[in-house]
């Protein structure tokens, strides 16, 4: 049995999930038993769900043999455990953002999901969030979703999030099980860039692997917003780790690799910045 204990949004927690993947990735027609204890940050369901799907594609059976009752309560509310044979529970406090597994082509479905989970479903409990900030957050989430669609070569995209009303934070995670930043870049440029350097390159303004079409703005604009919003972004891709916030930019290497890419975004919901930028660009001066 593999025990996942105290999973939150830290380098060590991602390392534990990578260790889980490494431990079972070669298994076929087997039983994989998992225990969740102490703490499990709900948004990390996106990463765990992606890993477990990899195991299921090798026809393994997944068993949650022991789950701390507090974790179980949340993972029933956010629908994660309903993918593993459990009945859904009602989220009366409305703080979860549902776990969702989407086909890469399910853009329209993703729109409904974002509307339900981040806008309509939280009108009453998020009075503090200004509409400018809300729009920027949704825009940021979309840029990441579209990046996964365009670049990752994944079959599915996994998303999940969590509101923390007391801390005025939202965590939102988007995961794919595609080729990862490193392989995408090395394939395009015929290079041997490490996973960490690949991420560093991709988040720089104007850098893109697209051929014949411009790009490279989504992650750069996201970084600028994260800085102003005093949020945080983390990228796990293959064995590379990248973290950015207003005060630092860090890269590290994991032991073993994640089979794809995790992008975790943390936003401050009490951000009072003005994002309207009125009159900054004249329509006649654009082209």
Partner 1 sequence: MIYFKTMENITINIVNSIGDVFAVEAEDGQKVFELISKALRDHKNVVVSFQNVEMLTTAFLNTAIGQLYKDFNESDIKRHLKASDMSDSGKVALKRVVDTAKLYYKDPEAMQRSIDNILGD
Nearer to partner 1, 128 or 188 (CB): 188
Judged by CB under 8 A, the stretch of 9-17, 79-87, 136-144, 231-239 that binds partner 1 is 136-144
Helix%, strand%, coil% for the chain, nearest 5: 40, 30, 30
Give the CA diameter of the chain: 63
Tokens 């990862």 correspond to what residue?
180
Q: Of these, 29, 90, 108, 272, which contacts partner 1 (CB under 8 A)?
A: 108
Find the binding residues for partner 1 in span 187-246 (CB under 8 A): 189, 191, 193, 197, 200-201, 204, 206-210, 212-218, 221
Number of residues in contact with partner 1, rule: CB under 8 A? 47
161/117 Cα distance (integer angstroms): 9
When asked if residue 168 is in the footprint of partner 1 (CB under 8 A), the reply is no
Closest approach of Cβ 222 to partner 1, in Å?
Answer: 10
Residue count (the chain): 287
Nearer to partner 1, 11 or 189 (CB): 189
> 1: Cβ–Cβ under 8 A, 6 or more apart, which residues?
33, 34, 35, 65
From 35, 34, 47, select the one nearest 8 (Cα to Cα). Answer: 47
Closest approach of Cβ 214 to partner 1, in Å?
Answer: 4
Classify each residue of 110-125 as buried b or exposed e, where b means 16 or more C-beta atoms within 10 Å of its C-beta: beebbeebbeebbeee
When asked if residue 280 is in the footprint of partner 1 (CB under 8 A), the reply is yes
Nearer to partner 1, 26 or 285 (CB): 285
The angle that helices 107-114 and 131-151 make with each other, rounded to 10 degrees, is: 160
DSSP one-letter code for 282? -
When asked if residue 123 is in the footprint of partner 1 (CB under 8 A), the reply is no
Nearer to partner 1, 166 or 282 (CB): 282
When asked if residue 272 is in the footprint of partner 1 (CB under 8 A), the reply is no
Which residues lie near partner 1 (CB under 8 A)? 107-108, 111, 135-136, 138-139, 142-143, 146-147, 149-150, 185, 189, 191, 193, 197, 200-201, 204, 206-210, 212-218, 221, 275-287
């Amino acid at each position: 049995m593999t025990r996942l204990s105290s999973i939150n949004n830290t380098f060590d927690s991602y390392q534990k999930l990578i260790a889980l993947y490494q431990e079972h990735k070669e298994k076929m027609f087997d039983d994989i038993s998992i225990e969740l204890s102490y703490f499990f940050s709900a948004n990390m369901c996106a990463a765990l769900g992606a890993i477990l799907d990899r195991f299921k594609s090798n026809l393994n059976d997944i068993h949650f043999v022991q789950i701390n009752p507090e974790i179980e309560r949340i993972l029933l509310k956010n629908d994660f455990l309903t993918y593993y044979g459990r009945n859904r529970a009602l989220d009366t406090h409305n703080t979860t953002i549902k776990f969702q597994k989407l086909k890469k082509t399910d853009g329209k479905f993703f729109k409904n999901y974002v509307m339900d989970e981040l806008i309509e479903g939280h009108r009453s409990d998020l009075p503090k969030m200004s509409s400018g900030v809300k729009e920027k957050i949704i825009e940021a989430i979309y840029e990441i979703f579209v990046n996964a669609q365009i670049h990752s070569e994944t079959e599915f995209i996994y998303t999940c999030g969590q509101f923390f009303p007391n801390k005025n934070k939202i965590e939102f995670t988007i995961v794919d099980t595609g080729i990862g930043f490193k392989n995408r870049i090395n394939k395009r440029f015929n290079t041997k860039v490490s996973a960490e350097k690949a991420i560093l390159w991709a988040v720089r303004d104007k850098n893109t692997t697209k051929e014949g079409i411009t790009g490279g703005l989504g992650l750069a604009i996201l970084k600028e917003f994260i800085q102003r919003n005093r949020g945080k972004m983390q990228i796990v891709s293959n064995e590379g780790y990248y973290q950015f916030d207003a005060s630092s930019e860090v890269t590290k290497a994991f032991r073993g690799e994640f089979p794809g890419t995790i992008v975790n975004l943390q936003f401050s919901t009490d951000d009072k910045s003005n994002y309207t930028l009125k009159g900054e660009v004249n329509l006649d001066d654009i082209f």
